[in-house]
Structure 1
Amino acid sequence: MTSASDLQFKSINYTGLGEGPRLIVTGAVHGNETCGTIGIGRVMAELDSGALRIANGSVTFVPVTNPLAYRLQRRAGDRNLNRNLFPNPAPQDFEDRIANWLCPLLAAHDVLLDLHSFNADSEPFVMVGPADNDGPLQPFAHAASEKALAKRLGVRRFVDGWLATYGAGVQRRLSDASQLQTVLRYGVGTTEFMRSTGGYALTLECGQHRDPQAPEVAYRAIMNTLAHLGLIDAPAPPAVAADQIEALSMVVVHDKLDQGDSFARTWRSFDPVEVGTLIGTRADGTPVLSELEGRILFPDVNAGPNQEWYYLTRANPAFAAQD
């Protein structure tokens, strides 16, 4: 029997003698996504043995961000930690209590690398943030630094546009505009919170949950990040070649309107679609067709009515040219 009262939070910091940025690396934000935990453990073993040394700045590791979900070997404890991630003076669930510890820890750092995995078979990818802007949704001033790091994590696929696309879907489905800011908070996870504090952040999806290569992807990304930021004495990792990059921007989210809405096939993230591709069928028989050429993302066969059903992305060729 697992009791939340038996659990505690743990972070480990290594600080060099020289000046440098403050990096934080998180694993197991979702408890069944353990590749980051394994990758972090491998790097920490090298630091503890003396095989690796932090020369400049500091790095904080959080091997298990959600200890309840991790102990239960499932995605969440009481709820999804990576949504509505804000300090809560009157915590209602275990994830609120994590947030009250985690959010100040994130705010004390400059850069976040958040390590995840996913359910379907696909290649690793990085979720990146918005362009520099001073808008109300997600103001940001470190897009160039964020993209430069993203291109050095060791993967070739990049996706941007999460919060803006999610927010547009929220606005569309809300009947009461006064609820907008409250509901938009649900779209804020680790990286969005980190950017709100003035830092920058990347979510690396390292591979399928049980892929034996996923921990290797996590380890390589941590080592490349340490080298790129100058925290260790190591050659700077090269950026992925421009002709190898696949960059996608999330464009639109479509909701499931009725429990009877169904997909036309078993979709996986990054499956290609053309204009007119049959995505699914509404409960009344109306076909649901793709309005653009691109790739489907996060198709959710278990979505309920008035929930996100799938996202569509299109190619973002400008990303490859930016550094």
Structure 2
Amino acid sequence: MVDVNQLQFQSIHYNGQQASTSLIVTGAVHGNETCGTIAIQRVMKELDSGVLFLRRGTVTFVPVTNPLAYAKGERVGERNLNRNLFSNSNPQNFEDRVANWLCPLLAQHDVLLDLHSFNAASEPFVMVGPRNNNGLLEPFKHEEQERALARRLGVRRFVDGWLRTYGDGVQRRMSDSSELQTVLRYGMGTTEYMRSTGGYALTLECGQHSDPQAPEVAYRAILNTLAFLGLIDAPMPEPIAPENMEALSMVAVYDKQHAHDTFSRIWSSFDPVKQGEEIGRRVDGTPVLAEFDGRILFPDSAAGANSEWYYLTRPNPSF
């Protein structure tokens, strides 16, 4: 049993002698996703030993963002830290207390690299933010810089459209529009919060939790980010060639209507689906069919009734 009163928060800052961009790198937002922690510790060791040298700007490392979840070796401590991420004057759980420390820390920086991993076997990918816009949901003005960095992290697969698609699902579910903004807040995680403070941010999903290559993916991404931002003296990383990219947009979310709705097979993120292919069945036996050719994302067989069950993506040739 973990005593939450014995846990503390840690961030480690490095400052170059010349003013430049401020970067923050986070690991273990989910406690069983440790590749970022391993990679961050490796980079800090190199900075401490002089193998790496921070020439300009600042970088803050948070090896373990959620110490309760990390100590438990589980995804969450008391709730999902990467949802409803806001400062809270009346914290109700451990993750609320993390948020009260983390949100002001994020706001002090220009760029966030958030390192994650996933459960099912698949290749690494990066989640990017919206196009530049002045909308109410997720206004943004750093599309060019954010996507340029995404292309230099060392992965070939890119996904956008999270908050927009999540919000569409929320609006469909809500019968009381006065609750809409409250529920939309649940879609706010580390990168969304960072963008809301005027910065830009990327979530890098580095591979399957236990894949020995996942920490290598995270380590390479940190070094490439430091080089891209000019914080270390290193060649500018080459962007991935367009012909080698796979860019996808989340375009639709599908709900479990009943707790006993079931998938017709075990799905993993990025499994391809064909229009008309059976994805699952409702509790009354009605088949749930793919509405278009694409790839499935975030299938959740354990989802509850009236909550998101899976997402579908389409190729995004304009990425």
Q: What TM-score does the superposition give when structure 2 sets the normalisation length?
A: 0.99
The Cα shift of 1:126 comes to 0.2
Structure 2 counterparts to residues 203-242 of structure 1, below 5 A: 203-242=203-242
Structure 2 counterparts to residues 152-163 of structure 1, below 5 A: 152-163=152-163
- Residues 274-301 of structure 1: CA distance to partner in whole angstroms, max 9, x if unpaired? 1111111111111111111110000001
SS of equivalent to 1:117 = strand
Structure 2 counterparts to residues 237-276 of structure 1, below 5 A: 237-276=237-276
- Is 1:79 equivalent to 2:79 in the alignment? yes
The Cα shift of 1:259 comes to 1.9
- Residue 25 of structure 1 corresponds to 25
Amino acid at match of 2:137: L
Amino acid at match of 2:151: K
- Is 1:96 equivalent to 2:96 in the alignment? yes
Structure 2 CA distance for aligned equivalents of residues 3 and 70 of structure 1? 13
Structure 2 CA distance for aligned equivalents of residues 71 and 275 of structure 1? 43
SS of equivalent to 1:221 = helix
- Residue 186 of structure 1 corresponds to 186
- Residues 16-72 of structure 1: CA distance to partner in whole angstroms, max 9, x if unpaired? 011210000000000000000000000000000011110010100000000010001
Structure 1 CA distance for aligned equivalents of residues 156 and 165 of structure 2? 22
Amino acid at match of 2:130: P
SS of equivalent to 2:308 = strand
- Residue 106 of structure 1 corresponds to 106
- Aligned-residue RMSD, C-alpha: 0.5
Q: Unaligned stretches of 5+ in structure 1?
A: none
Amino acid at match of 2:213: Q
Q: Which moved more, 1:256-265 or 1:88-97?
A: 256-265
SS of equivalent to 1:41 = helix
Structure 1 CA distance for aligned equivalents of residues 265 and 64 of structure 2? 36
Amino acid at match of 2:250: M
User: In the comparison of the two structures, how many residue pairs are matched?
Assistant: 319
- Residue 313 of structure 1 corresponds to 313
The Cα shift of 1:207 comes to 0.2
Amino acid at match of 1:189: G
Structure 1 CA distance for aligned equivalents of residues 231 and 22 of structure 2? 9
SS of equivalent to 1:101 = helix
Amino acid at match of 1:275: Q
Q: Which moved more, 1:286-295 or 1:199-208?
A: 286-295
Q: Unaligned stretches of 5+ in structure 2?
A: none
Q: Which moved more, 1:259-268 or 1:43-52?
A: 259-268
Q: Which moved more, 1:254-263 or 1:54-63?
A: 254-263
Structure 1 CA distance for aligned equivalents of residues 18 and 205 of structure 2? 31
- Residue 282 of structure 2 corresponds to 282
- Is 1:151 equivalent to 2:151 in the alignment? yes
Structure 1 CA distance for aligned equivalents of residues 5 and 134 of structure 2? 42
SS of equivalent to 1:318 = coil
- TM superposition outliers: structure 1 runs of 4+ over 4 Å: none
- Residues 73-96 of structure 1: CA distance to partner in whole angstroms, max 9, x if unpaired? 000101000000000001110000
